Structure 1
Amino acid sequence: MNSTTNISISDIQIGDRFRKDLGDIEGLAQSISDDGLLQAIGVTPDKRLVFGLRRLLACRDYLGWSEIPAVVIDIENLTHAEWIENTIRKDLTLSEMVAITDALRSFTRGGDRRSDQYRKNGSGVTKKDACEIAGWKMDRYDDAKKVVENAIDELVGAMDKGEVSPHAAAQLAAEPKDIQKEAVKLLKNATTAAEKRGVRAAVQRIENSKKLAERRQAQLNAPDTSESIRLFHCPFQELQKVADLKPESVKCVLTDIPYDGDFIGQIADLARLADELLVEGGVFICYVGQYKLNEKLRAFDQYLTYQWMGTSKWVGPGNVMHSLNVVSKSTSFVVYTKGDRKEWVKWLDTLDFAMKEKEYHPWQRPLAEIERLLLNFTKPGDLIVDPCGGGFTTAAACLKLGRECVSCDIEKAYVVTGQERMDDVRNELAGESTEQLDDGTAPIDADIELADVAA
């Protein structure tokens, strides 16, 4: 039978506690001062604290009490008692839940560990049982435990505050410490749920950039062994000057722009550049995505002539637009021209390539897809411009198909990677069989390609 009595606070043994986040003790003290202590603390007969640490500290440290009402509880497993008390009042943080779950698993007091009696009397608990007692799923516990064991303190804190899910935090915890620090900075700067969900992808881009900078030692502006492919590190607004491109010298501008809202303000500059560089009837092909597509089209319409819209599809996971609760598994691209275009070959407006390719850039397009567009709209020897190089897939496709290409990117690491990619393509071409290959003078008939897709 439990009993309540006033005991001396100085006699109470607090011992090790799993709760680390005690919250607003001063506010609790003010509440006790105004309304009284509504619930006694709990202690064992030998005055070991079972529950009520926050109330004890408030009364001792802020109110100056020397005695406090306490329920005397005859209980042996203090870990289990602390879990019961805290989970029905102030929620434990996830890292505290990990600690208390581990303690439940390790609690022993003899007996045969293999017997049902051992499990029932509380002297030994499996991971599954401990998680059931603590009230959470094993996979959530496993994720949180990985974070506690491997993450930097700042990332553990972000998980405990609910700024990042245990699963996402567990993934980040596998990264080097410097990458984890970058993730925490991004989390602190994120103001919306969508931005927080995008932290993992942003960190992946940071990691890729750092790996690229470490791996790529080639000179940024080293002479290209083929003057037909020229890559530059600059904003696309400066490309014409930097590359010494003549007005009306380009047959096709083929590029993949960033889809977010930040780039929309630069689309008019991109359209103006295309209008300046393209020959009369030259074609402008641009991947645009779906986000604020109407605004993008209005910017293009200022300088170019709209012709058509195509779609690129893929298999596998889609991209989620949370504000609309839509999962997208396709990307739109637009086809514009400078003035009228007289010659159109038959082409398919739906591109369906099975696999994503992300070896050189997070937004990389499939090489075969870009080759198909070049075959549809250009001829060998044509000059192609890609103002947003990224993974420089357009340049690689031009090299393979005998087109000239000028491309740029604002990120130095990707330009260096692009130069190495061109070397890889040259080595691949040099090692190919001497058998007669398609010279790229004509695209595959659209009807045949439709049959291939259906098959």
Structure 2
Amino acid sequence: MSDRGHIELERSIASIVVGERHRRDPGDLTPLMDSLKRVGLLQPVTITPDGYLICGYRRLEAAKKLGWNTLRVWVRSGISDELTRLLAERDENVTHKPLSTMEATALYKEMKVLLQEDAERRMKANQFGHDSDKTAGQTGPAESAGPELAGLGDARRRAAEMVTGKASYNRLEQILEMERVAADRDLPKDLRKVAEDELALIRNGGPVDPGYQRVRAAKRLYELMKPGDAPLDEHLDDAVKDEHEDRLRRARENRARRQAEAANRKRSTRSFNLKWAEMDGWSKKYDVEQIAREIKPDDWALFLRVIDETKAFAEAVSLAKESGGTPES
């Protein structure tokens, strides 16, 4: 949890600004509306001091459909002026200049913290109830917030969607990791300099992943270094190359494993039935003389092998049924 604070108060629904980054399809709101009518709003929505919605789009939309005029909100008193400005520029189209990679990362970092804190507050309220609900005599489970009741992984995804319009947060997290390395005074100066140099390249429009991989390789090299070894930068290029080859090797191994798992995965009885329903009457569709005249030896051998495999499978199933399998209907 950060040291940012929040206050709770009643807010006019009409004054809450829903930005362009929020999803526009809230899904089926009927269960949530029923919950609001039955026990009221147990979990306030979260807004900035200027009234921009951060969390609780579905709750807000459900309240609108119910004709409510006001709503309990958490107002984040610690949101930075820069964050509020970026929200305003993005959502009101004050500027059409897109965020730079580093600006997007800074906004993503703040949004991720806010979303995670909001999720933690709502999870606690789900477990123990909310003080204001108790004083109002309201009981019962918190309203179903669907995907909004989220853990860290979902907070990352939602923060990325709000900032970039895409669910992928890998590039943003890579930049944050490089910033952590650059700022960690417990790490050696030459390792921090690698991160600082790569961040400078990114600020000037360079790609993120190559820089991240270079920092990652430098970290691994540092962890393996012993006293008296040559300076980090003398071996860094080789370490980056080794890291790249290791990534390719792991990717090949993972692909081979997935292929093997797919090949060994047993299909369902329904699939079996569909396969043989499709095969029913197949021999009537081919001319015996033409097949005998044109089929190649290898293809004929394959056909005979499949026939033998089919006979063996049929015998095995028959034995299984006789020894306690499902009786024939």
Instruction: Flag the structure with higher helix content.
Output: 2
Structure number with greater Rg is 1
TM-score with structure 2 setting the length: 0.36
Query: Of the two structures, which has the highest relative contact order with CA contacts closer than 8 Å and spacing of 6 or more?
Result: 2
Instruction: Flag the structure with higher strand content.
Output: 1
